[in-house]
Amino acid sequence: MILNEEQQAMLDGKYGEGAAYAMKIQVGIGECFDAPRMVPITRAHVALSNQAGDLWFAEKLLNAGAKCRIPPTVNPGFCIGHFTGSCAHPVSEEDAEHMRRTNAAYRGLGAVLSYNCTPYIASNVPNFGEVCAFSESSATPYVNSVWGARSNRESANSALCAAVTGYVPEYGLLLDENRKGNILVHVEANMKSDYEYHLLGMMGAKIGEGIPVFTGLPAHISPEALRNLGAQLNTSGAYGMYHIVGFTPEAPTLEAAFGGKKPQREVVITDKDLKEFEELFSDKAENGKVDFAMFGCPHFTLKETLYIAKQIEGKKLAIPMYILVSSDAAEMARRMGAYDILTAAGAELLSDSCPDQPCWHYLKGKVGITESPKCAYYPRRRGINFMIRDLDTCIEAALTGEVK
């Protein structure tokens, strides 16, 4: 790689040991992908995991004196209320200490402690063409596809290095020629709600490797539906980008989406495909009974939170309901009265939290219900099971304790 004077000085340690370590990793990544140079970034998001390797790396950079040139937003761990029991289900002291150290490390590095996996919707929104370093499975497809910004599928560690150095190697989705679609996906399914976009995104095995170009979708698609589509695409097939003809900025026409070339293959997605996935991916609940409902993987928006509050206002839930949101959405829900409605019904509105965290240990062996395949996918390794249904069915199940 050819480095400019500043980049070489950083690599040589003139900006400190931490910056040199981060730059060394960035250069190594660039060499792996034959990147000719480094380019500056203006935004970053770090998908911290609050796990041992993640914490080790963050503390290593911090102890070496690293500071973020580009303050990144960060993914959730679990809410501070779990430390004290104010979330009604406290964690072990060991897990609490791990989260405290994670919080301290990223604060020391100069990160924005957003603890939100969907910053691309409201708090860290790039402009068209802006070069970024985003990790987080739902974030990369959104910034590339919906906003037309440019980011590779960074890991939490490489995104943090980019935030420290202010640079990324130029390769992959940063280059025009790599942003064209090569799979034509005809959607014949009835995309009647945001939920169907979850299921569409989980068609990775049928779509195959590449950049999908979707046709047949409605003229208006909500931010929540686009969030769902990208989150599940990256879960089912590691897609960093997609196009929707006539909707996403780099796909005004089919020809533009494919860069004037013909698709390598064509795929048709039907209602049958979506329904079959829903049934196959769902865990079985004995006699249709479920133990809890969980929403917010990716984090729910204020709009979705208000919708749930409206559906359960004046009622009592039969099972616990957990709604995971950003701290911004949680604060607005408080101001607008939705928090009080949810609490009165027996629901918990939690900010800063992710389903794939040790704070949910007491749900092991139980069967929950969710509208998000991603929410079902990750907690399974912790022994937590899920049925997948549309949001209204999930709400009804939370009120009755069973899926009809």
Q: Contact, 371 vs 198, CB < 8 A?
A: yes
Residue 280's alpha-carbon distances to 199, 309, 388, in angstroms, are 12, 30, 10
Identify the pLDDT of residue 385. Answer: 95
pTM, entire model: 0.95
Identify the pLDDT of residue 87. Answer: 61
- pLDDT tens, residue by residue, 53-66: 999 999 999 999 99
Nearest to 115 by CA among 161, 168, 79: 79
Q: Do domains 5-176 and 180-278 have the same CATH topology?
A: no
CATH, domain range 282-400: 3.30.499.10
Tokens of 74: 């960060």
Q: Which residue has the tokens 């301290």?
A: 104
Tell the CATH topology of 180-278: Rossmann fold (3.40.50)
Q: Is the peptide bond between 298 and the residue preceding it cis, with omega within 30 degrees of 0?
A: yes
Question: CA-based diameter of the chain, in Å?
Answer: 67
Give the chain's residues under pLDDT 50: none
Distance CA 25, CA 31 (A): 10
Identify the pLDDT of residue 93. Answer: 84
Task: Find the helix or strand (DSSP H, E) in which 211 lies.
Answer: none
Tokens of 296: 């917010």
Q: Contact, 156 vs 53, CB < 8 A?
A: no
Domain map of the chain by residue range? 5-176, 180-278, 282-400
Please provide residue 185's backbone torsions phi and psi, each rounded to the nearest 5 degrees: -115, 110
Any idea what DSSP says for residue 266?
Answer: E
Residue 136's alpha-carbon distances to 7, 93, 174, 290, 297, in angstroms, are 26, 27, 17, 29, 12
Return the number of other C-beta atoms located less than 10 Å from residue 244's C-beta.
22
Strand partners, 134: 45
Tokens of 80: 């501070």
DSSP 164-195: HHSEEE--GGGSGGGSS--EEEEE-S---SHH
Tell the CATH topology of 5-176: Aconitase; domain 3 (3.30.499)
